[in-house]
Structure 1
Amino acid sequence: MSNTVTIDIPEHTYARLIQIAQATRKTLTDVILRALEIGSPPDWQDVPADYQPDVAALDRLSDDELWRIARSQKPSETMTRYDDLLIANQDRDLTGAEQQELQTLRLESERFMLCKAQVIALLRWRGHSVLDIGLESLGVS
Structure 2
Amino acid sequence: MASKTQDDTRYADFIAEVAEWEGVWALYHNGWLLQTTATGDKFCPIFALRDEAKSFAAGIQSDHVPTAITLVELMESLMVQWRAENIMAGICPTPALPAIVVSPDQLSNDLMAALKDVMDERFGNQS
The bucket for the TM-score relative to the shorter chain is under 0.3
Name the structure where helix makes up a greater proportion of residues.
1
In our comparison, the structure showing a higher alpha carbon Rg is 1
TM-score (norm 2): 0.28
TM-score (norm 1): 0.26
